[in-house]
Amino acid sequence: MRRIICFVIFIAPLVSKAQKADSLWFVQHYIKKEVSIPMRDGVKLFTSIYIPKDQKEKHPILITRTPYSCMPYGKDKFLTEYWTGYKKSYTREGYILVKQDVRGRWMSEGDFVNVRPFNPAKKTGEIDESSDTYDTIDWLIKNIANNNGSVGVFGISYPGFYSTMAAASNHPALKAVSPQAPVTNWFIGDDFHHNGAFFQMDAFDFYSALGFGFGQPHPKPTPLPANSVGYKIHDNYKFYLETGAVPNLTKLLGDSVPFWKDVMNHPNYDEFWKARDARNATHNLKPAMLWVGGLFDAEDNWGAWNAYKAAEENNPGKRFNKLIMGPWYHGQWANNDGTHLGNVQFESNTSKYYQQNFEVPFFNYFLKGKGDISRIAESNIFITGENKWKKFDQWPPAAKQDKELFLQANGRLDWSKPGGDNHFTEYTSDPAKPVPYTEDVHFNRSRNYMTDDQRFASRRPDVLVYQTDTLTEDLTVAGNVVADLMTSISTTDADFVVKVIDVFPDYLSYVPVDIYADKDPEKIYPMGGYQMLVHGEIFRGRFRNSYEKPAPFIPGKVEEVKYKLGDIAHTFKKGHRLMIQIQSTWFPLVDRNPQTFVDIYHAKETDFQKCVIKIFNNQHAASKIILPVLK
C-alpha cells in the first residue's frame, strides 16, 4: 500500500503541471466570444464560441447544443474540458469550438420543450430543433471569420438527441454528425421508460434534484440553476419504498414541472410518445454519421443501437453511417479511463482507443480533409469477455444464428426443448419487499450496477435462477436477445425482469490494468464465482400484445410474454456458465407494479397485491431465451 501511495503522490504533481501547461497553451491560442444568435422566429440562442487566433489557415466548426448549460459564462472564462480531456485534440487541430444553450434553457430565450418533436414539413416561421441547428450553422458560417465552411455536430445523451436533430437539418455546410448515447425514445428504451416500465429513480432525480430545472418555468435567460426538491433520506431503496406509490412522487415534485404531468397522463404508447421518437428524424440524412454508445450504459443504451438501425433502414445506400459500441457506462468513452467498469476489467484503455481511432479521425477526415477513416468499419463493436474490438460489415452480424436456450427443471438451461406435461417454476412477487437492483446502499443510482455481481439476487426466493453446465468452448452472443416466457400469474398485471449473466469460474482472479501503472501483483483481487450482469431488461406485462393498448392478464391463464432485451456483444468463455435470472421487481430503479390492472401513475396503496408467478418449462409451454450466437 505504501508503494502505491508514493506513486500517487509522485504522479499527481506531474498531471497538475501538464494541465497547467495545456490551459496556458489554450488561453494563448484561443479567444472566446459570447453571442446570441437569432433564430427564424426571432428568438435568440446564447452561444459560446472558442476561436483559434491562428489566421494561417481556415478552421472547421464543431458544435455541441446542450440543455445542460454552456457555462462558464463570461468572455474571460474558459471551458476546462478543452485542455483536460481528449477534446484538446480538437484545439491542437485548430477547430472553432461552439457550445450553445438550446431554446428555453439557461441563457437562451424561448420556451423549452422536452424532446421536442421533429417537424419534417415546417411552414414559414415554424421551428424545431433541426431548424434551430440550421439557423445556428448558417449564422456561424456567415459571421465567424476564417472558417473553412465545414461544420460538425456532436454530443452525449440529451446533446446526442440534439445531434440527431442537427443531422436532419441537412444544412449544406454540415458534413459530419456524431450522436452519442442519443436520447431516442423515452417510452420503449431510453432513460425514463423501458418497455413501458417507469424508471422512477432517474426520472424523479432528473426533474427534482439535479439542479438542471428541466421543464420548470423559464421566464427569462439565467445563468443560475433551478432549485432542488432534495431528499430527506439518502438511501434510495428506503426513500422510494417509504414514499410509496408514484402519485406520492408527484406530490413531492409539486406543480412546477409540466413534463412530469405529461408523463403521468400518458401511461401508454400514444401519439404524444410517438411524436417524440427521434428516429422520425433519420430520413434522408446528408451528413456522414457516426453513432456511438456504451454496452453498459444505464441511461441511453437503446438509443445508440436503434437510432443507428433506423438510419440504416431509412437511408439505403448511404455512404457513411457507422456504429461504435464499447464497454462503457454513460459517456465513459469521453473520459480518460476506459479500462474497467466496477469490478469488470477490459484489459486495455478502450476510451483512448475510441478517441484516437474513431472519433477524432472521423471529424478530421470530413471537416478538414485530413487522415484516413478506413479503420472505421460499418459496425465497430467491443466484445466483452473476450475483450477485443471486432469489425463487422453489418449489425447484427451476418454470421449470427438465433438459437433457442430453454429453461429446464431444476434450474438448468439447455439447447433442447424440455419434456413433461405441466412443469413450471413459481415465485411470489411482493411489492412490499421488492428485489433491489444492487446489493449496496446508494443515494444516487449506481452506474456500476450494469456489471454488478448478481449473487445477492440469486439467493432470494423471488428470483428464479437457471444456468448452463460449465461451457466447454467459448460462446459469443452478438445481437438482440429475446426473452420468450410462457407464464401465468395470480393477479391481473406483473412486470418481468430477465437478466443475462456470465458466471465466472470458482477460482479466478484479476490483475487489473491501471490508468497510470502497469500490472501490479499487489492489485490482484478475487473474482471466483462472480455473476456478472451482461445485460438485463424489464417488460411491463400489460403491454405483451401492444404498447398502445394494454390488456390485463386473466389470473391462472397461461400466456406468452415475449420481448427484446436489447443488443449485447459478449463472449462467455470456456469454463464459465451462462445464467438467466427472472424476477418481477427491480427496485428502486423501476417503479413497483401494483400487480393489478390499474393506472399505475395514479395508483393507491390499496392497489398493491402479492402475485404468484409461474414460469412454465414443459413440452407444451416451453419458456426460452433466444440468443444471437456468433459462429
Residues 371, 414, single domain; the answer is: no
Mean pLDDT of 16-31: 86
Domain CATH number, residue 569: 2.60.120.260
What pLDDT is recorded for position 514? 57
* 520 vs 536: CA distance, rounded Å: 33
Residues 388, 436, single domain; the answer is: no
Mean pLDDT of 322-347: 96
What pLDDT is recorded for position 14? 46
Mean pLDDT of 564-582: 98
Q: Is 244 inside any structural domain?
A: no
What pLDDT is recorded for position 224? 84
What pLDDT is recorded for position 601? 98
What is the residue type of 303? G
What pLDDT is recorded for position 510? 79
Q: Is 243 inside any structural domain?
A: no
Q: For residue range 612-628, what is the model confidence (pLDDT) as tens digits?
A: 999 999 999 999 999 99
Does residue 426 surpass a pLDDT of 50? Answer: yes
User: What is the C-alpha end-to-end distance of the chain, expressed in Å?
Assistant: 45
How is residue 622 annotated by DSSP? B
* 520 vs 478: CA distance, rounded Å: 33
C-alpha cell at 235: 438511501
Of 211, 56, 86, 203, the closest CA to residue 154 belongs to: 86
C-alpha cell at 25: 497553451
What pLDDT is recorded for position 16? 66
Mean pLDDT of 136-164: 98
Does residue 209 surpass a pLDDT of 80? Answer: no
Mean pLDDT of 342-360: 97
Q: Is 537 inside any structural domain?
A: yes
Mean pLDDT of 162-174: 98
Q: For residue range 595-613, what is the model confidence (pLDDT) as tens digits?
A: 999 999 999 999 999 999 9
Residue 13: count of CB within 10 angstroms of its CB: 9
Q: For residue range 57-116, what is the model confidence (pLDDT) as tens digits?
A: 999 999 999 999 999 999 999 999 999 999 999 999 999 999 999 999 999 999 999 999
Residues 425, 361, single domain; the answer is: no
Residue 214: pLDDT band (50, 70, 90) is: confident
* 384 vs 364: CA distance, rounded Å: 29
Helix ranges (DSSP H) in 258-349: 258-264, 271-275, 301-314
**C-alpha dihedral (324, 330, 336, 337), degrees to nearest 10:** -90
Does residue 169 surpass a pLDDT of 70? Answer: yes
* 413 vs 624: CA distance, rounded Å: 9
Mean pLDDT of 317-344: 95
CB 107 within 8 A of CB 37: no
Does residue 159 surpass a pLDDT of 90? Answer: yes
What pLDDT is recorded for position 210? 63
Q: What is the mean pLDDT of the chain?
A: 93
Q: Is 624 inside any structural domain?
A: yes
Helices 200-208, 236-243: axis angle to 10 degrees equals: 90
C-alpha cell at 181: 448515447
CB 241 within 8 A of CB 200: no
Does residue 444 surpass a pLDDT of 80? Answer: yes
Q: Which of 392, 412, 437 is the last residue of a domain?
A: 392
CB 408 within 8 A of CB 605: no
Residue 518: pLDDT band (50, 70, 90) is: low
Q: Is 217 inside any structural domain?
A: no
Helix ranges (DSSP H) in 521-588: none
Q: Residue with C-alpha cell 420481448? A: 563
Does residue 174 surpass a pLDDT of 90? Answer: yes
**Cα angle, residue 472 at apex, residues 467 and 476 outer, rounded to 5°:** 75
Residues 308, 404, single domain; the answer is: no
- CA 593 distance to own-chain centroid: 23
Domain that holds residue 42: 2-185+276-392
Residues 347, 439, single domain; the answer is: no
Does residue 517 surpass a pLDDT of 70? Answer: no
Mean pLDDT of 308-330: 95
Residues 418, 333, single domain; the answer is: no
Does residue 346 surpass a pLDDT of 50? Answer: yes
Residue 264: pLDDT band (50, 70, 90) is: very high
- CA 39 distance to own-chain centroid: 30
Residues 405, 375, single domain; the answer is: no
Burial of 260 (0-12, 13-18, 19+ CB in 10 A): buried
What pLDDT is recorded for position 4? 36
Q: Which of 392, 411, 430 is the last residue of a domain?
A: 392
Q: Is 331 inside any structural domain?
A: yes
What pLDDT is recorded for position 9? 38
Mean pLDDT of 289-310: 97
Does residue 226 surpass a pLDDT of 90? Answer: no
Residues 290, 407, single domain; the answer is: no
Q: Classify 284 in phi/psi space as left (phi over 0), alpha (psi -120 to 50) or beta.
A: left
Residues 65, 10, single domain; the answer is: yes
* 82 vs 25: CA distance, rounded Å: 11
Q: Is 200 inside any structural domain?
A: no
Residues 300, 428, single domain; the answer is: no
Does residue 12 surpass a pLDDT of 50? Answer: no
C-alpha cell at 324: 461504435
Q: Which of 224-238, 331-345, 509-523 has the highest mean pLDDT?
A: 331-345
* 245 vs 604: CA distance, rounded Å: 7
Share of the chain above pLDDT 90, in %: 86
Does residue 576 surpass a pLDDT of 70? Answer: yes
Helices 158-169, 301-314: axis angle to 10 degrees equals: 10
What pLDDT is recorded for position 219? 84
* 9 vs 7: CA distance, rounded Å: 5
CB 272 within 8 A of CB 262: yes
Q: Is 23 inside any structural domain?
A: yes
- Tell me the backbone φ, ψ of residue 500, rounded to 5 degrees: -100, 125
Domain CATH number, residue 280: 3.40.50.1820
Share of the chain above pLDDT 70, in %: 94
What's the structural domain count of the chain? Answer: 2
Please state which of the ranges 133-137, 207-211, 262-266 shows the lowest mean pLDDT: 207-211
Does residue 586 surpass a pLDDT of 70? Answer: yes
Residues 425, 453, single domain; the answer is: yes
Residues 388, 405, single domain; the answer is: no
Q: Which of 392, 420, 446 is the last residue of a domain?
A: 392
CB 475 within 8 A of CB 629: yes
Does residue 385 surpass a pLDDT of 70? Answer: yes
What pLDDT is recorded for position 7? 36
